[in-house]
Amino acid sequence: MAKFKVLVGINYPDGSGGEKRAEIGDVVEDLPEKAAKWMERDGIIEPVSRAKSSAPKDEEVEG
């Protein structure tokens, strides 16, 4: 699932009838898609861009 950084405190369904709470600065990846859509639009969350994984460098082989 997509990861989002929380910019305003939120409560969202935990999938089992309850709620989860996320505070400013938390990163969440279990937001319902419908909620993520309006919260991103309203500036309540922002997507976390995946850090580019650096390709392993070839080891130099001493001759």
Partner 1 sequence: MPTFRHGKNTKVFINEFDLSTQLREVNTTAEADTAETSAFGTTDKTYVIGLLGTSLTLSGMFSGAAGEIDALFNSWNGDDIDKVVSIYTEGVGAAGSGTGRAVQQAPGKFTMRTIPSTLTDMVGIQANIISDGIARSGRSLHDYVTAESSTGNMASGLDNGVLTSNGGSGHLNVPINTRNGTSIIKVQHSTDNSAWADLVTFATVNASTITSERIVVAPLTTVNRYLRGQWTIAGTTGAITFALSFARH
Please give the residue ranges that form the binding site for partner 1 (CB under 8 A): 8-13, 31-32, 34-35, 38-39, 42, 44
Give the separation between CA 50 and CA 54, rounded to whole angstroms. Answer: 12
Residue burial 22-59, b: 16+ Cβ < 10 Å; e: rest: beeeeebeebeeebbeebbeeebbeeeeeeeeeeeeee
In the bound state with partner 1, the residue whose beta carbon lies nearer, of 23 and 62, is 23
In the bound state with partner 1, the residue whose beta carbon lies nearer, of 34 and 57, is 34
CB of 19 to partner 1, least distance (A): 8
In the bound state with partner 1, the residue whose beta carbon lies nearer, of 18 and 56, is 18
